[in-house]
Amino acid sequence: MLDIPSSVRVDVEALLAAQNHMGVCDAIEQYAPVGKPDTMTAPHFPKVAGIDSTVPPPAHTVAPAPPAPAPPSSPGAPGAPGALIQDRLAGWVSDLTTLHELTERLARTAVMDDALHEVLRAGAALVGARRGLVVLEPADGLGPDTTVGLGLARADLGHIETVPRGATSYGRILDRTDGTGEPEVHADLLSEDGLDPRHREVAARLGYAASFALPLATQAAGRLGAAVWLYDEPAEPVERQRHLVGLYTRYATEHLARLLELERARTKSRTIAEELLPPRLPRVAGVQLAARHRTGPRGGGDWYDALPLPEGALGLTVGSVTGSGASAVAAMGRLRASLRAYAVMEGEDPVAVLSDLELLLRLTEPARSATALFAYCEPALRKVVMAGAGHSPPLVIGERRTEFVETSLSAPLGMLACWEAPSVEFSPEPGETVLLYTDGLLHRTGDPMDRAFARLHAAAAGVPRTIRDDPGAIADHVLHTVLPDGLDAADSDEDVVLLAARFE
C-alpha cells in the first residue's frame, strides 16, 4: 500500500466543496467544453453529485489507461504521489459534476423537441464541437421520425439529407443490423479516401471538416436514432471526451424513450378525439359554418357538432364532459352520438333535447357531469332558439354590436336530480356571426373568469371588418387574440372548441 504523508492526504468532502465553490456549475451554464486533464478516468468512480459511480463505460468507449507511475520524489514536489492522486480526484469530481449538471438540464425537458435540442447542445460541449444534428428514427418503425439541427438552418439540413443515406454517419448507424453501438468517427472528411462525392460537396458547402456520431440506443430502450456533431476543422474527440459523451447519451436515450412513449400516447388520444368529432361541417342554405378544436395532451371531453334537421333547420351544439383521458373521450363520444339522435327527434325544443341528454348521463355516467348548449336554427328566418346547461353564453358578432346572448343560469347536466331551464330566442341580423365555444377557451387564459370574459369580448369586438364575412377567419382571430403567444397550441389540460355560424 502506498504510504501518503499526512500533509498531502486528500479530504474528498473538502475537495467536493471546493469544486462547487470554484464555479464549475457556472461554467456549465455556458456549455463550455470540459477541460480537465486526460487522466480523469478510473475503473470505479466515487459516487459524487448524484451520479452512480458504478455505471460501467458504454460498449463503444474505453476508459483511458491510468498514467505510468511517477518516480519517487519528495512529498512537496509536483510529481509526488499525493499530488497525482489529488489531480485525479479533481478530474473525477469535475467530470461527474459536469455530467450531473447536463443530465439535470435534460431531465427538466418535457417535450421531445426540447429534449433533442438539449442533447445536441450538451453533446457539443462534451466533444468540443460547434454544430450537429439528431436524427430520431425509432427502430420499431412507429415514429415519429424527425431531424433536429444545432447551428444548422432548415436549408442546411436539407442539403445534408441529399447525401445518400449509406454515405452519412447517421445512415450507417441507423442501418446497422448487428446491434453494435460503435461510434462513427471521421477526423478529416475532405481528405478521406472513398468519401461519397455528394458528401464531400455538402461538407465543403456547409463548412465542416470532421464529424463524430453516436447511436442513441440502449438495451432497454432499443435504437431511437443517432446524433452527429460536426467540427469546422479536422479533429476528433479524445478518449476522455468519448467516455463522457457516451455516458451522457446512455442517460439521454432512456429519457428520450420515456418522452417518446408519452408522445405516442398523446397522439393516439388526440386521434381518437378527432375521429369522434365531425369530419366535416354540413352545408346549409343561409348559413356558413366553421369550427376550431384544440385537444389537450391527455385528451379531453369537449365536443362540437352541426347537423342538418328537417325543413331546412340546423342544430348547433357544443359541450364538455368532466375529466380527461381516454375515459372522458369515450364518454364524450357517447353523449354526442345520443344528442344527435335527440336533436333529430325533437330538435325544435332545445330544452327537451338537453333533458333527454341529462337523463341518459345520470343513467349511464353517474360519476360524471357535463355542460352543454344546443341551438335550433332556422336560417331562412334568421331565428335561433337555444338552451344551455351550465354552459357559457354564446357571442353575437356583427357590424353594429358585439354582445353575449342573455341565457338563464342553469346547473350542468348530472348535478341535480332533475335538470330543467328555460330556452331563449334571438334573431341575428344579416352578416352577423354567432360564436359558440367551450370553457377551455377561458380557462387557458389563466385569468379569473370575469377578466377572461372581458378578454373574449374585446377580441370579438376587434375582429377586422375585412374578415367579418368569413366565419373561419373570425374564429381564428378570436382564438389567437384570447390565447396569444402560442397558448392555443401549448400543452394544457383544457380542450378548446369554437363553432362559428354566420347568417346571410
Q: Are residues 167 and 260 in the same domain?
A: yes
Q: Are residues 261 and 283 in the same domain?
A: no
pLDDT at 489: 67
Of 238, 266, 294, which residue sits at a domain end? 266
pLDDT band at 38 (very low <50, low <70, confident <90, very high): very low
* pLDDT at 269 > cutoff 70: yes
The verdict on residue 5 lying in a domain is no
Better-predicted residue by pLDDT, 162 or 19: 162
The verdict on residue 2 lying in a domain is no
Cα–Cα distance, 21 to 27 (Å, whole number): 12
Of 221, 239, 266, which residue sits at a domain end? 266
Q: Are residues 258 and 282 in the same domain?
A: no
pLDDT at 299: 63
What's the structural domain count of the chain?
2
Are 10 and 86 in contact by the 8 Å Cβ rule? The answer is: yes
> Residues with Cβ < 8 Å from 17, sequence gap 6 or more?
none
Specify the range with the lowest mean pLDDT, choosing from 102-106, 260-264, 275-279.
275-279
Of 201, 235, 266, which residue sits at a domain end? 266
Most confident of 72-76, 286-290, 328-332: 286-290
pLDDT at 449: 92
Q: Are residues 175 and 222 in the same domain?
A: yes
The verdict on residue 282 lying in a domain is yes
Q: Are residues 231 and 330 in the same domain?
A: no
Cα–Cα distance, 319 to 265 (Å, whole number): 24
Question: 182-225, pLDDT tens digit by residue?
Answer: 899 999 998 888 899 999 999 999 999 999 999 999 988 899 99
Q: Are residues 241 and 106 in the same domain?
A: yes
Q: Are residues 348 and 228 in the same domain?
A: no
Q: Is 310 helix (H, G, I), strand (E, B) or coil?
A: helix
Q: Mapped to the 3 state alphabet, what secondary structure does 133-201 carry?
A: EEEECCCCCCCCCEEEEECCCHHHHHHHHCCCHHHCHHHHHHCCCCCCCCCEEECCHHHCCCCCHHHHH
Q: ∠ CA(238), CA(242), CA(244), 5° rounding?
A: 120
Cα–Cα distance, 117 to 32 (Å, whole number): 16
pTM of the model: 0.64
Are 93 and 100 in contact by the 8 Å Cβ rule? The answer is: no
The verdict on residue 7 lying in a domain is no
Specify the range with the lowest mean pLDDT, choosing from 227-236, 262-271, 354-363, 387-396.
262-271
Judged by phi (left if over 0) then psi (alpha if -120 to 50, else beta), residue 286 lies in left
- Domain membership of residue 421 as a residue range: 277-503
pLDDT at 263: 87
Q: Are residues 145 and 217 in the same domain?
A: yes
Element (H, E) at 118: helix 112-127
The verdict on residue 224 lying in a domain is yes
Better-predicted residue by pLDDT, 447 or 77: 447
Q: Which CATH number fits the domain that encloses residue 220? A: 3.30.450.40
pLDDT at 79: 54
Kindly state the cell numbers that stand for 163: 447525401
The verdict on residue 1 lying in a domain is no
pLDDT at 388: 92
The verdict on residue 272 lying in a domain is no
Question: 316-355, pLDDT tens digit by residue?
Answer: 999 999 887 778 888 888 999 999 999 999 889 999 999 9
Q: Are residues 318 and 366 in the same domain?
A: yes
Question: 130-168, pLDDT tens digit by residue?
Answer: 999 999 999 998 889 999 999 999 999 999 999 999 999
The verdict on residue 136 lying in a domain is yes
Specify the range with the lowest mean pLDDT, choosing from 94-98, 307-311, 485-489.
485-489
* pLDDT at 2 > cutoff 50: no
Specify the range with the lowest mean pLDDT, choosing from 71-85, 149-163, 419-433.
71-85
Cα–Cα distance, 338 to 360 (Å, whole number): 8
Q: Are residues 205 and 306 in the same domain?
A: no
What is the pLDDT of the chain when averaged over all its residues?
A: 83
Q: Which CATH number fits the domain that encloses residue 405? A: 3.60.40.10
- Average pLDDT of span 279-298: 87
Q: Are residues 228 and 302 in the same domain?
A: no
Q: Are residues 327 and 432 in the same domain?
A: yes
Q: Which of 479, 478, 476, 440 is nearest to 459 (CA)?
A: 478
